[in-house]
Structure 1
Protein backbone atom coordinates (compact mmCIF):
# COMPACT_ATOMS: atom_id res chain seq x y z
CA UNK A 1 0.00 0.00 0.00
CA UNK A 2 2.91 2.36 0.63
CA UNK A 3 3.81 2.23 -3.06
CA UNK A 4 0.43 3.71 -3.93
CA UNK A 5 1.06 6.64 -1.64
CA UNK A 6 4.62 7.32 -2.80
CA UNK A 7 4.62 10.51 -4.86
CA UNK A 8 5.55 10.08 -8.50
CA UNK A 9 5.67 6.27 -8.52
CA UNK A 10 4.82 4.99 -11.99
CA UNK A 11 4.61 8.44 -13.54
CA UNK A 12 6.61 9.78 -16.48
CA UNK A 13 9.25 12.33 -15.48
CA UNK A 14 7.23 15.35 -16.66
CA UNK A 15 4.21 14.21 -14.57
CA UNK A 16 6.34 14.11 -11.42
CA UNK A 17 6.71 17.88 -11.49
CA UNK A 18 5.17 19.67 -8.51
CA UNK A 19 1.42 19.79 -8.86
CA UNK A 20 -0.42 23.05 -8.68
CA UNK A 21 -3.44 24.25 -6.76
CA UNK A 22 -6.99 23.70 -7.92
CA UNK A 23 -8.08 26.42 -10.33
CA UNK A 24 -10.20 29.05 -8.64
CA UNK A 25 -13.90 29.28 -9.41
CA UNK A 26 -14.32 32.17 -11.83
CA UNK A 27 -10.87 31.76 -13.40
CA UNK A 28 -10.50 31.10 -17.12
CA UNK A 29 -8.40 28.28 -18.56
CA UNK A 30 -7.34 27.77 -22.18
CA UNK A 31 -8.38 24.43 -23.66
CA UNK A 32 -6.06 22.18 -25.66
CA UNK A 33 -6.59 20.20 -28.83
CA UNK A 34 -5.45 16.59 -28.51
CA UNK A 35 -5.71 13.10 -29.91
CA UNK A 36 -7.88 10.87 -27.75
CA UNK A 37 -6.92 7.35 -26.76
CA UNK A 38 -9.37 5.95 -29.34
CA UNK A 39 -7.64 7.93 -32.12
CA UNK A 40 -10.30 10.63 -32.49
CA UNK A 41 -9.33 14.29 -32.31
CA UNK A 42 -10.72 16.48 -29.51
CA UNK A 43 -10.75 20.27 -29.89
CA UNK A 44 -12.27 23.10 -27.86
CA UNK A 45 -14.99 23.27 -30.54
CA UNK A 46 -16.28 19.92 -29.19
CA UNK A 47 -17.18 21.71 -25.95
CA UNK A 48 -18.28 25.05 -27.43
CA UNK A 49 -21.30 26.37 -25.54
CA UNK A 50 -21.29 23.32 -23.25
CA UNK A 51 -20.36 22.46 -19.71
CA UNK A 52 -17.02 20.64 -19.74
CA UNK A 53 -15.98 18.20 -17.02
CA UNK A 54 -12.19 17.77 -17.05
CA UNK A 55 -11.28 14.61 -15.13
CA UNK A 56 -7.66 13.80 -14.24
CA UNK A 57 -7.29 10.07 -13.47
CA UNK A 58 -5.05 6.99 -13.74
CA UNK A 59 -5.72 3.29 -14.31
CA UNK A 60 -3.80 2.37 -11.14
CA UNK A 61 -5.61 4.88 -8.88
CA UNK A 62 -8.02 3.12 -6.48
CA UNK A 63 -10.06 6.29 -5.91
CA UNK A 64 -10.36 6.83 -9.67
CA UNK A 65 -11.61 3.23 -9.97
CA UNK A 66 -14.44 4.14 -7.61
CA UNK A 67 -15.22 7.50 -9.25
CA UNK A 68 -14.91 6.62 -12.95
CA UNK A 69 -18.20 4.65 -13.12
CA UNK A 70 -19.98 7.77 -11.86
CA UNK A 71 -18.25 9.96 -14.48
CA UNK A 72 -19.37 7.45 -17.14
CA UNK A 73 -22.96 7.49 -15.84
CA UNK A 74 -23.00 11.31 -15.85
CA UNK A 75 -21.56 11.37 -19.37
CA UNK A 76 -24.12 8.90 -20.73
CA UNK A 77 -27.06 10.64 -19.04
CA UNK A 78 -26.12 14.24 -19.88
CA UNK A 79 -24.05 14.25 -23.11
CA UNK A 80 -27.13 15.10 -25.18
CA UNK A 81 -28.08 17.89 -22.75
CA UNK A 82 -24.88 19.94 -23.21
CA UNK A 83 -22.31 18.09 -21.08
CA UNK A 84 -18.85 17.25 -22.45
CA UNK A 85 -16.20 15.20 -20.64
CA UNK A 86 -12.45 15.30 -21.21
CA UNK A 87 -10.68 12.70 -19.10
CA UNK A 88 -6.89 13.14 -18.89
CA UNK A 89 -4.90 10.08 -17.86
CA UNK A 90 -1.58 10.42 -16.08
CA UNK A 91 -0.67 6.78 -16.79
CA UNK A 92 2.88 6.18 -17.99
CA UNK A 93 1.75 4.32 -21.12
CA UNK A 94 -1.25 5.25 -23.27
CA UNK A 95 -1.89 1.52 -23.82
CA UNK A 96 -2.48 1.04 -20.07
CA UNK A 97 -5.06 3.82 -20.00
CA UNK A 98 -6.76 2.71 -23.23
CA UNK A 99 -6.85 -0.93 -22.10
CA UNK A 100 -8.39 0.03 -18.78
CA UNK A 101 -11.11 2.12 -20.43
CA UNK A 102 -11.91 -0.66 -22.89
CA UNK A 103 -12.00 -3.35 -20.17
CA UNK A 104 -14.41 -1.24 -18.10
CA UNK A 105 -16.56 -0.24 -21.09
CA UNK A 106 -16.09 3.49 -20.54
CA UNK A 107 -17.09 5.70 -23.46
CA UNK A 108 -16.27 9.22 -22.20
CA UNK A 109 -13.62 11.06 -24.26
CA UNK A 110 -10.19 10.35 -22.80
CA UNK A 111 -6.66 11.38 -23.72
CA UNK A 112 -3.26 11.57 -22.10
CA UNK A 113 -1.96 14.41 -19.97
CA UNK A 114 1.05 15.11 -22.18
CA UNK A 115 3.48 17.98 -21.54
CA UNK A 116 1.70 19.98 -24.26
CA UNK A 117 -1.75 19.42 -22.72
CA UNK A 118 -0.34 20.09 -19.24
CA UNK A 119 0.86 23.55 -20.30
CA UNK A 120 -2.78 24.58 -20.81
CA UNK A 121 -4.45 22.31 -18.24
CA UNK A 122 -1.87 21.61 -15.53
CA UNK A 123 -2.83 18.79 -13.19
CA UNK A 124 -3.86 20.07 -9.77
CA UNK A 125 -2.60 18.22 -6.69
CA UNK A 126 -4.39 15.00 -5.82
CA UNK A 127 -6.12 12.26 -7.76
CA UNK A 128 -8.77 12.05 -9.02
CA UNK A 129 -9.42 15.70 -9.82
CA UNK A 130 -12.55 17.19 -11.41
CA UNK A 131 -12.81 20.72 -12.80
CA UNK A 132 -16.07 21.87 -14.37
CA UNK A 133 -16.07 24.76 -16.86
CA UNK A 134 -18.50 26.62 -19.07
CA UNK A 135 -16.85 26.83 -22.49
CA UNK A 136 -16.79 29.83 -24.79
CA UNK A 137 -14.40 29.80 -27.73
CA UNK A 138 -11.11 28.14 -26.79
CA UNK A 139 -11.48 28.84 -23.06
CA UNK A 140 -13.39 27.49 -20.11
CA UNK A 141 -14.60 29.49 -17.11
CA UNK A 142 -14.26 27.40 -13.95
CA UNK A 143 -17.53 26.88 -12.06
CA UNK A 144 -16.43 23.96 -9.82
CA UNK A 145 -13.18 22.26 -8.78
CA UNK A 146 -12.63 19.25 -6.50
CA UNK A 147 -9.58 17.17 -5.67
CA UNK A 148 -10.09 13.67 -4.29
CA UNK A 149 -12.79 11.07 -4.69
CA UNK A 150 -16.33 12.31 -5.22
CA UNK A 151 -19.32 10.18 -4.23
CA UNK A 152 -21.93 9.19 -6.82
CA UNK A 153 -24.42 11.83 -5.67
CA UNK A 154 -21.71 14.51 -5.90
CA UNK A 155 -20.78 13.52 -9.47
CA UNK A 156 -24.46 13.36 -10.45
CA UNK A 157 -24.91 16.79 -8.89
CA UNK A 158 -22.54 18.29 -11.47
CA UNK A 159 -25.49 18.37 -13.87
CA UNK A 160 -26.70 21.47 -12.01
CA UNK A 161 -24.11 23.44 -14.01
CA UNK A 162 -25.90 22.64 -17.29
Structure 2
Protein backbone atom coordinates (compact mmCIF):
# COMPACT_ATOMS: atom_id res chain seq x y z
CA UNK A 1 0.00 0.00 0.00
CA UNK A 2 2.84 2.43 0.81
CA UNK A 3 4.36 1.87 -2.66
CA UNK A 4 1.04 2.62 -4.32
CA UNK A 5 0.48 5.68 -2.13
CA UNK A 6 3.95 6.85 -3.13
CA UNK A 7 3.23 6.14 -6.81
CA UNK A 8 -0.03 8.08 -6.71
CA UNK A 9 1.66 11.03 -5.01
CA UNK A 10 4.48 10.96 -7.56
CA UNK A 11 2.03 10.74 -10.45
CA UNK A 12 0.04 13.68 -9.10
CA UNK A 13 3.22 15.70 -8.60
CA UNK A 14 4.39 14.91 -12.14
CA UNK A 15 1.00 15.90 -13.50
CA UNK A 16 1.18 19.22 -11.68
CA UNK A 17 4.71 19.90 -12.92
CA UNK A 18 3.82 18.98 -16.50
CA UNK A 19 0.67 21.09 -16.52
CA UNK A 20 2.58 24.09 -15.17
CA UNK A 21 5.15 23.57 -17.90
CA UNK A 22 2.42 23.85 -20.51
CA UNK A 23 2.39 20.20 -21.56
CA UNK A 24 0.08 19.42 -24.45
CA UNK A 25 0.53 15.64 -24.57
CA UNK A 26 -1.55 13.28 -22.45
CA UNK A 27 -2.15 15.96 -19.80
CA UNK A 28 -4.02 18.36 -22.12
CA UNK A 29 -6.90 19.97 -20.20
CA UNK A 30 -6.04 18.12 -16.97
CA UNK A 31 -6.79 20.74 -14.31
CA UNK A 32 -3.88 21.58 -12.05
CA UNK A 33 -4.23 20.89 -8.32
CA UNK A 34 -5.16 24.10 -6.55
CA UNK A 35 -7.00 25.59 -9.54
CA UNK A 36 -10.68 26.54 -9.27
CA UNK A 37 -13.02 24.08 -10.97
CA UNK A 38 -16.47 25.21 -12.01
CA UNK A 39 -19.16 22.54 -12.34
CA UNK A 40 -22.10 22.73 -14.75
CA UNK A 41 -25.55 21.23 -14.34
CA UNK A 42 -25.36 17.83 -16.06
CA UNK A 43 -28.24 15.74 -17.43
CA UNK A 44 -27.91 12.21 -16.03
CA UNK A 45 -27.97 9.09 -18.20
CA UNK A 46 -30.80 7.44 -16.30
CA UNK A 47 -32.83 10.64 -15.98
CA UNK A 48 -32.74 13.62 -13.71
CA UNK A 49 -29.99 16.16 -13.44
CA UNK A 50 -26.84 16.71 -11.41
CA UNK A 51 -27.20 20.23 -10.04
CA UNK A 52 -23.93 22.10 -9.61
CA UNK A 53 -25.41 23.94 -6.63
CA UNK A 54 -25.67 20.60 -4.77
CA UNK A 55 -21.86 20.34 -4.86
CA UNK A 56 -21.31 23.60 -2.98
CA UNK A 57 -19.05 22.85 0.01
CA UNK A 58 -18.79 19.15 -0.83
CA UNK A 59 -16.06 16.89 -2.18
CA UNK A 60 -16.80 15.77 -5.74
CA UNK A 61 -15.04 13.01 -7.68
CA UNK A 62 -15.39 13.65 -11.41
CA UNK A 63 -14.79 10.58 -13.51
CA UNK A 64 -14.64 10.61 -17.33
CA UNK A 65 -15.25 7.12 -18.78
CA UNK A 66 -16.51 5.20 -21.81
CA UNK A 67 -18.18 1.82 -22.28
CA UNK A 68 -15.53 0.81 -24.83
CA UNK A 69 -12.52 1.76 -22.65
CA UNK A 70 -10.69 -1.31 -21.22
CA UNK A 71 -8.97 0.76 -18.50
CA UNK A 72 -12.33 2.25 -17.48
CA UNK A 73 -13.65 -1.30 -17.08
CA UNK A 74 -10.92 -1.88 -14.49
CA UNK A 75 -11.34 1.42 -12.61
CA UNK A 76 -15.13 1.93 -12.65
CA UNK A 77 -15.93 -0.83 -10.11
CA UNK A 78 -13.61 0.95 -7.65
CA UNK A 79 -15.33 4.29 -8.34
CA UNK A 80 -18.68 2.56 -7.69
CA UNK A 81 -17.37 1.11 -4.41
CA UNK A 82 -15.97 4.51 -3.35
CA UNK A 83 -19.34 6.15 -3.95
CA UNK A 84 -21.25 3.40 -2.13
CA UNK A 85 -18.97 3.49 0.92
CA UNK A 86 -18.42 7.26 1.17
CA UNK A 87 -21.65 8.92 0.04
CA UNK A 88 -22.99 8.86 3.62
CA UNK A 89 -19.96 10.99 4.54
CA UNK A 90 -21.00 13.54 1.90
CA UNK A 91 -18.97 12.41 -1.12
CA UNK A 92 -20.45 13.19 -4.52
CA UNK A 93 -19.40 11.23 -7.59
CA UNK A 94 -20.20 12.46 -11.07
CA UNK A 95 -19.33 10.22 -13.97
CA UNK A 96 -19.10 11.77 -17.43
CA UNK A 97 -19.55 9.32 -20.29
CA UNK A 98 -17.78 10.20 -23.54
CA UNK A 99 -19.70 7.51 -25.45
CA UNK A 100 -21.22 8.55 -28.77
CA UNK A 101 -24.11 6.12 -28.24
CA UNK A 102 -26.15 6.90 -25.13
CA UNK A 103 -27.90 3.52 -25.28
CA UNK A 104 -24.52 1.77 -25.11
CA UNK A 105 -23.51 3.84 -22.08
CA UNK A 106 -26.78 3.09 -20.29
CA UNK A 107 -26.60 -0.63 -21.13
CA UNK A 108 -22.99 -0.81 -19.93
CA UNK A 109 -23.91 0.69 -16.56
CA UNK A 110 -27.02 -1.46 -16.15
CA UNK A 111 -25.17 -4.69 -16.99
CA UNK A 112 -22.48 -3.95 -14.41
CA UNK A 113 -24.76 -2.54 -11.72
CA UNK A 114 -23.11 0.89 -11.66
CA UNK A 115 -25.48 3.40 -10.17
CA UNK A 116 -23.30 6.34 -9.15
CA UNK A 117 -24.60 9.50 -10.85
CA UNK A 118 -23.32 9.70 -14.38
CA UNK A 119 -24.07 12.07 -17.20
CA UNK A 120 -23.13 12.41 -20.81
CA UNK A 121 -20.45 14.81 -21.96
CA UNK A 122 -22.61 17.08 -24.11
CA UNK A 123 -21.11 20.09 -25.91
CA UNK A 124 -22.72 22.34 -23.27
CA UNK A 125 -21.13 20.36 -20.42
CA UNK A 126 -17.78 20.23 -22.21
CA UNK A 127 -17.82 24.01 -22.66
CA UNK A 128 -17.58 24.32 -18.86
CA UNK A 129 -15.71 21.08 -18.11
CA UNK A 130 -13.46 20.18 -21.05
CA UNK A 131 -12.53 16.52 -21.12
CA UNK A 132 -8.86 15.97 -20.39
CA UNK A 133 -7.00 13.87 -22.92
CA UNK A 134 -6.97 10.14 -22.19
CA UNK A 135 -9.30 7.78 -20.37
CA UNK A 136 -10.22 7.23 -17.68
CA UNK A 137 -9.72 10.60 -16.00
CA UNK A 138 -10.32 11.14 -12.30
CA UNK A 139 -10.43 14.61 -10.75
CA UNK A 140 -11.21 15.42 -7.12
CA UNK A 141 -12.75 18.81 -6.41
CA UNK A 142 -12.43 19.78 -2.77
CA UNK A 143 -14.98 21.49 -0.55
CA UNK A 144 -13.39 24.81 -1.48
CA UNK A 145 -14.17 24.33 -5.19
CA UNK A 146 -10.51 23.77 -6.07
CA UNK A 147 -8.85 20.73 -7.61
CA UNK A 148 -7.43 18.54 -4.86
CA UNK A 149 -6.13 15.78 -7.18
CA UNK A 150 -6.16 14.97 -10.89
CA UNK A 151 -5.09 11.79 -12.63
CA UNK A 152 -5.38 10.44 -16.13
CA UNK A 153 -5.21 6.71 -16.81
CA UNK A 154 -5.83 3.61 -14.79
CA UNK A 155 -5.82 3.77 -11.00
CA UNK A 156 -5.43 0.75 -8.73
CA UNK A 157 -8.35 0.03 -6.35
CA UNK A 158 -6.16 1.17 -3.45
CA UNK A 159 -5.57 4.51 -5.20
CA UNK A 160 -9.32 5.06 -5.61
CA UNK A 161 -9.90 4.19 -1.95
CA UNK A 162 -7.33 6.83 -0.99
CA UNK A 163 -9.50 9.52 -2.59
CA UNK A 164 -11.69 9.33 0.52
CA UNK A 165 -8.92 11.19 2.37
CA UNK A 166 -10.18 14.42 0.82
CA UNK A 167 -13.38 14.12 2.84
TM-score range, shorter chain: 0.7 to 0.9
Checking the alignment, whether the CA contact within 8 Å between 2:37 and 2:146 is kept in structure 1 is: yes
Checking the alignment, whether the CA contact within 8 Å between 1:19 and 1:123 is kept in structure 2 is: no
Over 3 Å counting, the alpha-carbon distance change for 1:127 and 1:20 in structure 2 is: same
> Normalising to structure 2: TM-score of the pair?
0.81
SS, match of residue 65 in structure 1: helix
Separation of aligned partners in 2, 1:21 and 1:111: 19
> Normalising to structure 1: TM-score of the pair?
0.84
Structure having the larger proportion of residues in strand: 1
The equivalent of 1:32 in structure 2 is 40
The equivalent of 1:23 in structure 2 is 31
Structure having the larger proportion of residues in helix: 2
The equivalent of 1:100 in structure 2 is 108
1:57 pairs with one of 37, 62, 65? 65
Checking the alignment, whether the CA contact within 8 Å between 2:27 and 2:152 is kept in structure 1 is: no
Q: By how many angstroms is 1:48 displaced? A: 2.1
- After the TM superposition, which parts of structure 1 deviate over 6 Å for at least 4 consecutive aligned residues? none
Over 3 Å counting, the alpha-carbon distance change for 1:75 and 1:33 in structure 2 is: same
Separation of aligned partners in 1, 2:27 and 2:132: 5
Could you say what the CA RMSD is over the residues aligned between the two structures, in angstroms? 1.4
Over 3 Å counting, the alpha-carbon distance change for 1:39 and 1:88 in structure 2 is: same
User: 5+ unaligned residues in a row in structure 2: which ranges?
Assistant: 1-25
User: 5+ unaligned residues in a row in structure 1: which ranges?
Assistant: 1-17
- In the alignment, is residue 120 of structure 1 matched against residue 128 of structure 2? yes
Separation of aligned partners in 2, 1:53 and 1:45: 15
Separation of aligned partners in 2, 1:21 and 1:117: 14
